[in-house]
Structure 1
């Protein structure tokens, strides 16, 4: 099994915190769609005929595409690959794009899951982030999607930024629970270089993010999720029983995937490659029958460290047998390095599995990096 990710590099406007690759001009959208179709053809052998279990439209804002354009891209994939009958096909969307007519058109496509970028239900917070939509649109878009028949929905929320009081954070969580959404992704606000937010902070127009605030709101979220029967199956991802994101879970489990579009990454178990993060260069190269990508051949060390980083973030944890399958003897080396985290209560072991404790989840990335080979 394998997955396909399509990067749709267009947004109506730039969120102040975002460092993903996108353009706010839709001028060349038609040309980009043609290039995406062409790349699907050019990359048809990358996954070595493995069955496609998941298709994910990310970005950017994939919901700026029409239903016909989305159908065209899915048709191209199904013509060239064997797609599972129960494939999970996800479309990232902004609330302002999901009006009744758009949802009705999307209902006629194979899309069966929405990832809706809500971030907050407070208008002042959305304005601070420079989001296009407002809180009323967020709730309304979810209800419209549910009314028209889309049940498999996830929403994104952000915590740990100056405007978000603990009272507002609890209200955001309660609003999502009330909407009966089966999956929630929640991320601490991070300040990425080259973003508007980073510039505001460096010029002292905005205060820096508070690690203490983020940690406190993370703990509040864990309690709220547990009280509402949501399982934390990855540091930032929560679901009701059986509603894991199959596509993202495959990333964390090391399943092969093909990335289509500018800046998209691909992984086939032995190598990783990524396309140029420039729309014009990408389109020109693809239409000239050349894939504009760089390729990295993964060493044993690369593969071990990638597995540690991704697996440790999940409820399934690090499988010591899988470590030894990558490089014999690596499990014993890791156990020696991990001893300090067993002692301080950050890690626990059950059989061959190493998982983070609730305390350890607060420091997941740091712990993983210190366990690297």
Structure 2
């Protein structure tokens, strides 16, 4: 039993040896003397993140066999074999590492040496050297957009991202976002859009816009037919979306490729919120807005009067001016004047009543000139 247990310890070793330096070497047991029979030895090489491992055999002398059934060296990553070697360097076998340099796809690598029950020719084994090599993530990554939104900068052991002017690096250190909140539009008409429209809008951003018009006006919005916001085929706008709040009414959320078209509101104050997540290359949206006001009835033009401008409809803040034809005086509230201006008010009424025009002769008779005392 003691001999059997001792044989197991020699065969399977005492666990893998951990190599954590940035460079080093491995040798078969007893090197440069012949390696023992019935032996297994394992090494695990680990270097910091941001590096890979290169492995090179400077000496290799193992028992040759078909498909390396007897003695062999196996190089593995995460349990999967990268290479299997056996034989002598002087022979013409494909199983010898020769001058081949093995590069691991990750920052860890394992090497396994196994010998069977015989070593009749006294093979000397192997010497291998490893070193950590820096990964240039910026040039090696297949899709740079998944690595950095805008700019990628490599350094030894890693990389970092930066953004174009006007953007800010998100807390994920990969995404470039913008500060697009707080813009207030007070003109009676205007245009607003997602950042960069019609180019891809920034990721991981929450944009807030506000339209504030004078009381009595209502906001009308007209969306550009080009509308492209990331969507989902089964769920309503789970990623990016546009929402509009106008008074007590909410419009949206909007996403996908269908433009919202024209939206009429009953409010003079509108809030627009646009959210984007950390992925996607959609082109965004644009809208133009205008002010529509309360409608006032078309004024009736009194006899002998002239009104400008003549329109089919009048809205809040529109003006009309009354004057009289030649030979008549404009009379309003007991007084006379040359002209009278009325304004359409927020409640849809005019600021005064239309005047009337009296003949100057009749007006003079009503107000005779008194002789001087």
Interval containing the TM-score (normalised by the shorter chain): under 0.3
Question: Which structure would you say has the larger RCO, counting Cα contacts within 8 Å and 6 or more residues apart?
Answer: 1
What's the TM-score once normalised by structure 2's chain length? Answer: 0.18
Higher share of residues assigned strand: 2
Give the TM-score normalised by the residue count of structure 1: 0.18
